[in-house]
Amino acid sequence: MKCLRTSMLVIFVGMAFAITGCGSAGTTFDENASDVTAEGYEEPLDMTGEELMDMVKQARDNQTADVGKGLIEDLTGFHIPYDIDTIIDLADDILKRSKYALRFEKIMYNSKDAHGNKVQLSALLIVPWKLFKKPSLPILGYNHGTELFRGNAPSTFKDNPLDVLNVPEVIIASAMASSGYIVVMPDYQGMGESNDIQPYVHKIQGRQSADAIKAAKQYTKKPWKFGRLLSPVSWNKKLYLIGYSQGGYVTMQTAKFLQKRRSKKFPVTAVASLAGPHSISDVMIDPMTSDNEYKQPFFLPMVVTAYESIYGSPFTPDEVYVEPFNETLPPLMDGNTKSGTVNAAMGMTTDPLNFIVPSTVLQPELIDELMDSSSEVRMILRKNDSHRGWVPQMPIKMFHHVNDELVMHENSVVALEKFESKGAPNVSLESVTDEIDVREDSTDTYHAYAAPLIIFKAWEWLLTQ
């Protein structure tokens, strides 16, 4: 793919950083490779933050649907998860501190799955650079929110930048990178170049995100592993983590893994965990078992599919779903289906608008197990709560809107209480109360519309750490 920016400046820098021109090479997986090694490379994509925002605004203006007011959800599953105008405003505010141009790299790295097998995963690496300089900068691990469709993984932006509205968090992460942060955004197993089942809200995602950070470090020290003669940056040993929704959960699990397993090589400077489902075994039981409607029910088969792939029984389709959902839902969870299609298969409609109660697709026996705190199902979920099994030693600040109806605020309250009871020295929670314009008779959610505001609050906090 040809580079978007064709000025002599970028051509010169591209010659300095890349071994080959605007071609690409395939990727291979070396079974004898070390724990994390990037193999193969593609031509990078270079642009300034201003050029990125011009592209975003053009994509927004060309969109025929009403994307200015955020979430679009129809039976095809096409959705823009956040208010795009708010994201543009947020990115513009961050870009006021812009110091660097940006290089987008799609990297491949080795990791492990939940069974300990080697897997090769993809990530988007956003590298700040300046001509004739090699700045020493921190790494920012940015974990994205829930996404079912494999084609909307962060690294797809590098190959399809004009589809930027499909990856809105890349816009925010790019603005952060332009301020002087080496940003790595893991696609997650099951997304991007991985055809596996996504281990949704499973603790292994922490290790996999940590491996992406290790690959980002390798880029700064051994760029030839990525097909580059030189790295435009070095790492200054500072490491920050941030993520919203699923990304908030993965961020917490990443911090846990790094503290317990790699604290000497990768000491974490600060963690911003935003609106994460930290209490899967307790707080998140309610939307799975209650009689309440839920605006995005596709999360439930995501959890079931992930846990079946790892644990088998008691998460097999026949054990989990009533007919016909035991047959209709599993084929939709292959990573090639968008969330709206899954919502529709569960009975949700948008015209007329009709929400469903997620528990109506579940076997009564499973609901009983979910409500029994001593059941096998609850014990498995408990193992994957992000607040269990460690006492954070790094600064952690959680941010959560008090009206979040998808990932309830209580998740962060429980995590804070658990950490404080164990003597964690520097963990806090900002309960966000800002007024958000959410229409009740729509698919609007506080969870989605509060995201840009909360991410910006977290970013301002990280800048002080």
Determine the pLDDT at residue 10.
35
Q: pLDDT band at 318, cuts 50/70/90?
A: very high
The mean pLDDT of 312-324, rounded to a whole number, is 98
Cβ distance 193 to 169 under 8 Å?
no
Give the structural domain span for 363.
Answer: 285-383
End position of a domain, from candidates 383, 401, 429: 383
Tokens of 5: 């920016």
**Residue 412 above 70 pLDDT?**
yes
Q: Give the C-alpha separation, 283 to 413, whole Å.
A: 10
Residue with tokens 């070390």: 34
Determine the pLDDT at residue 60.
85
For residue 224, being part of any structural domain is answered with yes
Determine the pLDDT at residue 38.
41
For residue 16, being part of any structural domain is answered with yes
**Residue 450 above 60 pLDDT?**
yes
Determine the pLDDT at residue 42.
67
For residue 202, being part of any structural domain is answered with yes
For residues 346 and 8, the model is more confident at 346
For residues 235 and 12, the model is more confident at 235
For residue 356, being part of any structural domain is answered with yes
End position of a domain, from candidates 383, 400, 426: 383
Closest Cα partner for 303 from 274, 336, 329, 322? 329
% helix, strand, coil for the chain, step of 5: 40, 20, 40
Instruction: Please tell me whether residues 389 and 371 are part of one structural domain.
Output: no
For residue 1, being part of any structural domain is answered with no
Q: Over the stretch 327-381, which tens digit does the pLDDT of each residue have?
A: 999 999 999 999 999 999 999 998 899 999 999 999 999 999 999 999 999 999 9
Q: Over the stretch 201-249, which tens digit does the pLDDT of each residue have?
A: 999 999 999 999 999 999 999 888 878 888 999 999 999 999 999 999 9
Determine the pLDDT at residue 39.
42
Q: How many domains does the chain have?
A: 2
What percent of the chain clears pLDDT 70, i.e. is strictly above it? 87
Q: Are strands 101-112 and 118-129 parallel, antiparallel or unpaired?
A: antiparallel
Name, in order, each residue with C-beta under 8 angstroms of 53's C-beta and a sequence gap of 6 or more: 88, 91, 92, 95, 171
Determine the pLDDT at residue 8.
33
Instruction: Please tell me whether residues 70 and 122 are part of one structural domain.
Output: yes
Q: Over the stretch 140-198, which tens digit does the pLDDT of each residue have?
A: 999 999 999 999 999 999 988 988 888 999 999 999 999 999 999 999 999 999 999 99
Tokens of 346: 């569960």
Determine the pLDDT at residue 459.
97
Instruction: Please tell me whether residues 401 and 293 are part of one structural domain.
Output: no
The number of beta carbons lying within 10 Å of the beta carbon of residue 276 is: 29
**Residue 13 above 70 pLDDT?**
no
Instruction: Please tell me whether residues 146 and 79 are part of one structural domain.
Output: yes
The mean pLDDT of 118-138, rounded to a whole number, is 95
Average of per-residue pLDDT values in the chain: 88
Instruction: Please tell me whether residues 53 and 194 are part of one structural domain.
Output: yes
Residue with tokens 């949704």: 200
Instruction: Please tell me whether residues 214 and 338 are part of one structural domain.
Output: no
- CATH number of the domain bearing residue 76: 3.40.50.1820
For residue 2, being part of any structural domain is answered with no
Instruction: Please tell me whether residues 115 and 192 are part of one structural domain.
Output: yes
Determine the pLDDT at residue 82.
59
Determine the pLDDT at residue 41.
53
Instruction: Please tell me whether residues 32 and 165 are part of one structural domain.
Output: yes
Instruction: Please tell me whether residues 318 and 240 are part of one structural domain.
Output: no
Determine the pLDDT at residue 97.
86
For residue 3, being part of any structural domain is answered with no
Instruction: Please tell me whether residues 246 and 167 are part of one structural domain.
Output: yes
Q: Give the C-alpha separation, 153 to 408, whole Å.
A: 25
Tokens of 105: 């790299």
| CA dihedral over 101, 109, 111, 381, signed as positive or negative | positive
Cβ distance 448 to 81 under 8 Å?
yes
Instruction: Please tell me whether residues 199 and 272 are part of one structural domain.
Output: yes
Roughly what angle, to the nearest 10 degrees, separates helices 49-62 and 84-95?
Answer: 160
Instruction: Please tell me whether residues 370 and 289 are part of one structural domain.
Output: yes
Name, in order, each residue with C-beta under 8 angstroms of 101's C-beta and a sequence gap of 6 or more: 46, 47, 48, 49, 128, 129, 130, 178
Which alpha helices (DSSP H) does 63-155 contain, by range?
84-95
End position of a domain, from candidates 332, 353, 383: 383
Determine the pLDDT at residue 62.
82
pTM confidence score = 0.90
Cβ distance 395 to 386 under 8 Å?
no
For residue 360, being part of any structural domain is answered with yes
